Amino acid sequence: MNCEGVRERLSGYIDGELDELSFHQVRSHLQRCPACAAEEAQLRDLVALLRQVARETEVPVPSDFRSQLRSRLLQLPPPLARKALTPVAPRWRRWGLPAAAAAAVAAGFTLLIGPGAARPPAGDPGARAPVATPASPAQGPVALHGRSSGLQRPWQSETGAPGGLDGAPGGLAREDGSAGLANPGQGSVAPGSGDGGPGAATDGSPGQKAPGDQPGQQPGQPNPGGASRPAGGQAETGSSGTVPVGPSRIGDGSAPGNGSVVTATSGEGQPEAGQPAPAPLEAVTYRTRIRAPLGPGLEARLAQVLAAFPEARRIGDPAVTTVSDRSVAVSYTFAVPRGQADAVLAALETLGEPVQRSQPEVLSLAADYEAKAADLAAKRSWLEEKERELQDPGLSDLNRQSLKTDIERVRQAIPILEQELAQMRQRAEQAWIVLTVEGPRTTSGE
Amino acid sequence: MSPSEEAKLVERARQGDVDAFEALIVQYERKVYNLAYRLTGNPEDASDLAQEAFVRVYQSLGDFRGDSSFATWLYRIVANACRDELRRRQRQRTVSLEVTVENEDGEMVRQYADEGEGPDQALERVELQRLVRETLATLDEDHRQILILRDFQDLSYQDIAELLNLSLGTVKSRINRARNALKEKLARELELLQSRVVYNSRRRHGNEL
């Protein structure tokens, strides 16, 4: 490697971020090139200086940070309650809760950008409401009527899917009676929250929606026009039983539809979706336990076994658990193409004395995927809609501003959803193998 | 915290035990808050963002499978939350990655001065700090941003790649270019600083005598 190549890699070298080959090349060059070695020393000094400044300018966490966080957390459902993979729960229930939670998040962001609203981080909707209220009540209902009627038409004509429309006017009708309820539809504005609003509305159980979040959020959403579209999109998501509704609309959003999640997947044009024969959308995990001496020897033999499966890769760091005061267990997780799972499993088990192989766990990702995909489609078409609306010269400045804010928020949610979908597809193409190796404690340092 | 203690706390937090969750995150609070602070540039927004990040962590606990360490997993979620915020700010063109730390009344000087340090050294250190931050502020936005993430926040290249949505290769070369740019500018400024510090210290000693 010449000087130029070395200089390009010096930062990576200092940070320990070079691959092994480059690392050795740089190191051996530095040993014989004083100019580059001087350069390296300077760079190290600089990094040390920056770190020192970083340490010295570190700010303390505000004293009320934890109590504020706590009050926010206490309003949320237990994390397990929102785990979306339980197939028994009705979907609105599974998605309603995180939607409400995400709505709280969205409201948090509103605060962050809202005029003069930079005060308390407001986990507590009670605290949040007063901040945003001044803007909303006067403007809310007016814009609601004016905007929503103007809204429906372009959407109707554009989708050509009458089924998909049912949800929207429904949501609007409700909006009049109970703005507090309709606005949660705004939840769809926040990442991953697609079904929140209509879930509650359709099922007629507004009480289910995390009660704390909405009152706070509603005033934070001075743009009720924004609510109408998500509400429509969600109503549809919520009623995915009516198959024609979903795909027809989802199609125009160029995202996978309910009925044919997997097929649509490859049509979505995501780089990750290039697999011609999509696997069923499920997360498969195999677990096996063997007994073998731990330590570097094990690592080497593991690498040997895996060399036969170039597509297999490790996930995360090995997790160490204590079995007893004499023995320790280390768990490795590997991702392999699903078709190779049995072969890899068998090969891994040759590393020691098999103790136990569990039944593979299969978790369906389909419902989760479908809901996210529908949410994504709804957001995309909502965006199209709103961007058109923004062109309307008759829009008041206030409405334009809040519309922009809403658009911004929805736009942020899209890449996140896309990423989540891609991850799910990727997960479905893989099987994960958790290999637990149990060994005597003393040999771990061999 | 041992892995098994951590696993127990995770389990309890998953059931909605907020105390357990607090115990889990207490060691990350400072780093996360400071990241948020450096990204947003003011304490109010920093609090909002950091809380938002922790709320996401809490809500995602159901998905934590122990495949990676809790720290890695937590940091990824935090990075995502910050990335969203960063994107929002970039779109609004109000991104502020400057490290503005001292209060208007210069409290930082008192706050960070070591006990055993004389006024000259303290001054020199504060001057140096200021110089580094000022020089940093003159860099290209991309360069400044990546140096803050790498050298102030100590993020791995991988984390930065995810945070900024860049390839690992781009992260590598950008960090290197950013450091070199800073190094050159700083070298010039340091010469100036040197003479200024010497001058100041002479002047003060002169006053004392």
Same domain, A294 and A345: yes
Instruction: Please give the Cα distance from A421 to A427 (Å, whole number).
Output: 10
- Tell me the whole-structure pTM to 2 decimals: 0.40
Q: Could B176 and A8 be called an inter-chain contact, meaning their C-beta atoms sit closer than 8 Å? A: yes
Same domain, A307 and A394: no
Per-position DSSP letters for A29-42, written without gaps between them: HHHH-HHHHHHHHH
Same domain, A186 and A76: yes
* Residue A143, domain member (yes or no): yes
B188 and A CB contact within 8 Å:
no
Same domain, A306 and A171: no
Per-position DSSP letters for A282-325, written without gaps between them: EEEEEEEEEE---SHHHHHHHHHHHHT-TT-EEEEEEEEEE-SS
Q: What is the pLDDT of residues B142-193, one digit of tens each?
A: 898 899 889 988 888 988 887 777 899 999 999 999 999 999 998 888 777 6
Q: Is the separation of the CB atoms in A155 and A72 below 8 Å?
A: no
* Residue A174, domain member (yes or no): yes
Rg of chain A on CA atoms, in Å: 27
Which residue range(s) make up the domain with A258? 72-268+368-426
Residues 154-183 of B with CB under 8 A from A: 154, 156-157, 172-173, 175-176, 179-180, 182-183
* The CATH number of domain B3-92, selected from 1.20.5.440, 1.10.1740.10, 3.30.420.40, 1.10.357.10: 1.10.1740.10
pLDDT of residue B83: 73
* Residue A277, domain member (yes or no): no
Same domain, A304 and A398: no
Same domain, A311 and A182: no
Same domain, A258 and A400: yes
Residues 110-139 of B with CB under 8 A from A: 112, 125, 128-129, 132-133
pLDDT of residue A88: 36
Q: Could B21 and A319 be called an inter-chain contact, meaning their C-beta atoms sit closer than 8 Å? A: no
* Residue A65, domain member (yes or no): no
Q: Could B88 and A109 be called an inter-chain contact, meaning their C-beta atoms sit closer than 8 Å? A: yes
If you measure CA to CA, which chain A residue comes closest to B37? A59
* Residue A66, domain member (yes or no): no
Same domain, A221 and A342: no
Give the mean pLDDT per block of 10 residues along chain A (446 residues): 92 92 92 91 91 87 90 84 42 36 35 31 37 36 34 33 35 35 36 36 38 39 39 36 34 36 38 53 86 85 90 77 70 88 92 85 79 86 87 82 82 84 86 87 48
**A contacts of B179 (beta carbons < 8 Å):** 11, 43, 46-47
CA angle A194, A198, A199 (to 5 degrees): 85
Same domain, A258 and A328: no
B28 and A CB contact within 8 Å:
no
**B107-208 placed in CATH 1.10.10.10:** yes
Q: Which comes out higher in pLDDT, residue B24 or A170? A: B24
Same domain, A18 and A100: no
Give this complex's ipTM.
0.72
CA angle B165, B170, B174 (to 5 degrees): 110
Q: Would you list the domain boundaries of chain B?
A: 3-92, 107-208
Q: Could B33 and A61 be called an inter-chain contact, meaning their C-beta atoms sit closer than 8 Å? A: yes
pLDDT of residue A8: 93
Nearest chain A Cα distance for residue B209, angstroms: 32
* Residue A357, domain member (yes or no): yes
Same domain, A438 and A302: yes
Amino acid letter, residue B167? S
Same domain, A332 and A439: yes
* Residue A62, domain member (yes or no): no
pLDDT of residue B193: 62
Nearest chain A Cα distance for residue B72, angstroms: 9
pLDDT of residue A411: 86
Instruction: Please give the Cα distance from B185 to B134 (Å, whole number).
Output: 10
How many structural domains compose chain A? 3
* Residue A67, domain member (yes or no): no
Q: Could A43 and B183 be called an inter-chain contact, meaning their C-beta atoms sit closer than 8 Å? A: yes
Nearest chain A Cα distance for residue B4, angstroms: 7
Instruction: Please give the Cα distance from B128 to B144 (Å, whole number).
Output: 17
Q: Which residues of B20-37 are buried (b: 16+ CB within 10 A; e: fewer)?
A: bbbbbbeebbebbbbbbb
Please state the three-class secondary structure of A200-230 as a single string: HHHHCCHHHCCCCHHHHHHHHCCCCHHHHHH
pLDDT of residue A395: 80
**B contacts of A191 (beta carbons < 8 Å):** 84
